[in-house]
Structure 1
Amino acid sequence: MLTKAAVTYGKGEPFQIDDITIDKPKDGEVLVRIKAVGICHTDLIVRDQYYPVPLPAVLGHEGSGIVEEVGTGVTSVQPGDHVVLSFSSCGECTKCLSGNPYACETFFELNFTGTMGDGTCRLHKDHQDVSNFFGQSSFAHYSVVSERNVVKVPKDVPLEILGPLGCGIQTGSGAVLNKLQPAEGSSIVVFGCGSVGLSAIMAANVASCTTIIAVDLQESRLELAKELGATHTINPKDVANTVEEIQKITGSGANYSVETTSIPAILRQAVDCLATLGRAAVIGAPPVGTEVSLDVNTLLFERSVTGVLLGSGVPQTYIPKLIDLYKNGKFPFDKLIKFYSLEEINQACEDSETGITIKPILKLS
């Protein structure tokens, strides 16, 4: 069948709206009519080929929509179900079988090499394969995904706001709730107040952290951070030393930190600001090969650094949890959102990169 999609044809080029062909779902796959899709930082760095997904490609990995058709063997969803699309995993390796699909041993192959799990493409343009992304390619009106990508969600929440739960919001909040698991009454610093960082701040509030420090260069984002639960804000332009400012606020350093910016110097600050026994969670995704310098003696005093992929959670159980928190007024992620049409995708990307919009969402139908 034909579907309209935003196609990436060349490194750093604007997205082009084009008609492409999409195959029917194979065994274990699901055809989803996309209602809306979030734009994530990862889409932009793949467009710019920091991560070299083969081009041409249809990006997009924060889709939400309605199941149209299911392939043989699919049991978790049926036509008409509302779903959020998340990352792809194999379901067979030791990591997946132990309940850690975000650490799937074939994560890179399934999400970044341009094909589905069987090594073939579902998208085509003029008899040429078009690369798949994150097992979903949801910058399109229709998407074929593995059943493992699909998260069934309730129908009493607006479907068009839910897509970002599949990546950015899941990642930021999960870094706190799933990975760090801060103790009640503890302190946490979040570096970077985009959608991922603000999701971490909301999660810290859910976790009953009592000192929640937001660090960002944009005052508008710091104001929103306070609205979402930050108890203190720091604009590095206004202080002589960010780490020292954090130590003043906390007394002896923060118990936890979350780094979302992808900037090596900021990661150093996220470690240096920690108290003894402190833990830093790294989310920001810089170009492959990026290195950071840390003082080993800082780490020796029982401080630790951990990476976080997709919020270290199981989407099928964690995303419904976030939706319940939202419905109960404890996780107002809708305050991050601004809607655009598919045809406005390049403007939406520019607004995201310049900080005008926290979380752009493309409404497709």
Structure 2
Amino acid sequence: MTTISANTGRTVTAAVARGKGEPFTIQKARLRGPKDDEVLVRVVATGLCHTDLIVRDQYYPVPLPAVLGHEGAGVVEAVGPAVKNLQPGDHVVLTYGACGHCQPCAGGHGAYCSQFFGLNFGGADLEGHTAIEDEEGRPLHDHFFAQSSFASHALARENNAIKVSKDAPLELLGPLGCGIQTGAGAVINSLKVTPGSSFASFGAGAVGLSAVMAARVAGATTIIAIDIVPSRLELAKELGATHTIDSREGDVVETIRAITGGGVNFALESTGIAQVLSGAIESLGTLGAIGVVGAPPLGTKAEFDINSLLLNGRTIRGIVEGDSVPQRFIPQLVELYRQGRFPFDKLVKFYPVEQINEAAEDSKRGVTLKPILRFTHA
């Protein structure tokens, strides 16, 4: 198997978040080669996720300047000496980092890895080392979600580089590594939405609409999408929603109770707005369950009526990365897409990486559900 020295670096093009709330800057940088179980990936395209933007804006304390990006898809170019199952030429989707050895990881719950925050948000490896530096030799924070894919090449580990079929559309697949798998996995893996049940998605962004599609795959027969953007609600109908609610018009909880005859069996909250979560909990029927995936600033609190929760047997649970085992779940989503049962391509719009700030603004304004940034390679 081809290997490359960790001391062998290469020049890359990277989009760098330099300061809180500042625009991304496109610049040249130097990336070292892979070591141990790392793989060097030529990034074909990478999704732009809400998490990238809230980190740029410092909702989470990731050190800046940094190369962010965590929905990369590309081609393996080189591997470290400890890599066993990947080789140059493989097509991969990059996903979140997990140690693979702690108790949650050993139990198949890598999204709850005991070292999750350090591996994904630490701005360096667990020893504090970075792999990328600017043209002046100054280190840039990286290892974002164990990949930092806002660059023409990225270093990942073998356990978060998921091999996919070469006949799948690689430039489309990056968002499966985070946002799409979060929404779909929350429905299929976490909430375990059942055939004939009712489901409500609070938020019809990329995550919420992925949940809508997954609810249809799971066999839910009442699927409700709630948002304030009419175009998103129209798309939700196309993707499987049986009902849509503009939350600016009337009482959402009462509308859901009227549709379902008392409340939904399952719900997902993806907006990160505390007041929306409070209402979503009240929309649940007896023994209803809600998953929480929206990420507000650290320290944000929400309110709910304890007796309403208690007497109705309701369940609230946080969900990271859709509780997915990416090596299994991402290929499953690819196959569902290929069968026409999970058309997540209807969520995306492509941008050259040089237009990352335009893509970020379009995402913020709701013009684009899921931006995907393309890289041009000579």
> If the length of structure 1 is used for normalisation, what is the TM-score?
0.99
CA offsets 1:317-340 (integer angstroms, 9 cap, x no match): 100000010011100000001000
CA distance in 2, matches of 1:204, 1:277: 18
CA distance in 2, matches of 1:211, 1:221: 18
Match of 1:291 among 285, 297, 301: 301
CA distance in 1, matches of 2:164, 2:214: 20
Match of 1:14 among 23, 32, 36: 23
Cα displacement (A) at 1:236: 1.3
In structure 2, what is the equivalent of residue 134 of structure 1? 145
CA offsets 1:243-294 (integer angstroms, 9 cap, x no match): 0000000001000110000000000111100001000000000000000111
CA offsets 1:171-215 (integer angstroms, 9 cap, x no match): 000000000011210001000000000000000000010000000
| Paired amino acid for 1:285 | A
Corresponding position: 1:363 with 2:374: yes
| Paired amino acid for 2:19 | G
State the SS of the aligned residue for 1:134: helix
CA distance in 1, matches of 2:243, 2:34: 49
In structure 2, what is the equivalent of residue 316 of structure 1? 327
| Paired amino acid for 1:138 | S
| Paired amino acid for 1:322 | L
Moved more, 127-136 or 243-252: 127-136
Corresponding position: 1:86 with 2:123: no
State the SS of the aligned residue for 1:182: coil
CA distance in 1, matches of 2:118, 2:30: 23
In structure 2, what is the equivalent of residue 333 of structure 1? 344
| Paired amino acid for 1:335 | K
Moved more, 144-153 or 345-354: 144-153
CA distance in 2, matches of 1:149, 1:68: 16
Cα displacement (A) at 1:118: 4.0
CA distance in 2, matches of 1:110, 1:323: 26
CA distance in 1, matches of 2:141, 2:158: 19
| Paired amino acid for 1:83 | V
In structure 2, what is the equivalent of residue 214 of structure 1? 225
Cα displacement (A) at 1:160: 0.2
Corresponding position: 1:246 with 2:256: yes
| Paired amino acid for 2:33 | K
In structure 2, what is the equivalent of residue 148 of structure 1? 159
CA distance in 2, matches of 1:297, 1:226: 34
Cα displacement (A) at 1:127: 2.1
State the SS of the aligned residue for 1:51: coil
> If the length of structure 2 is used for normalisation, what is the TM-score?
0.95
State how 1:115-130 maps to structure 2 within 5 Å: 115-125=124-134, 126-130=136-140
State the SS of the aligned residue for 1:44: helix
Unaligned runs of 5+ in 1: none
| Paired amino acid for 1:51 | Y
In structure 1, what is the equivalent of residue 289 of structure 2? 279
In structure 2, what is the equivalent of residue 76 of structure 1? 85
| Paired amino acid for 1:293 | E
State the SS of the aligned residue for 1:24: coil
State how 1:48-127 maps to structure 2 within 5 Å: 48-125=57-134, 126-127=136-137
CA distance in 2, matches of 1:325, 1:61: 22
Identity of aligned residues (%): 55
CA distance in 2, matches of 1:85, 1:118: 22
Match of 2:265 among 228, 239, 255: 255
| Paired amino acid for 2:190 | K
CA distance in 2, matches of 1:266, 1:319: 29
Unaligned runs of 5+ in 2: 1-9
State the SS of the aligned residue for 1:37: strand
The CA RMSD measured in Å over matched residues stands at 0.7
Q: Post-superposition, which runs of at least 4 consecutive aligned residues in structure 1 deviate over 6 A?
A: none
CA distance in 1, matches of 2:77, 2:193: 41
In structure 1, what is the equivalent of residue 176 of structure 2? 165
| Paired amino acid for 1:229 | G
Q: Quick one: structure 1 residues 26 and 117, their matched pair in 2 at CA, closer, same or farther if it must change by over 3 Å?
A: farther
State the SS of the aligned residue for 1:276: strand
State how 1:168-179 maps to structure 2 within 5 Å: 168-179=179-190
| Paired amino acid for 2:105 | C
In structure 2, what is the equivalent of residue 202 of structure 1? 213
| Paired amino acid for 1:190 | S
CA distance in 2, matches of 1:21, 1:146: 19
In structure 2, what is the equivalent of residue 228 of structure 1? 239
CA offsets 1:18-43 (integer angstroms, 9 cap, x no match): 00110010111000000000000000
State the SS of the aligned residue for 1:238: coil
State the SS of the aligned residue for 2:334: helix
The number of residue pairs the alignment matches comes to: 364
CA distance in 1, matches of 2:146, 2:168: 24
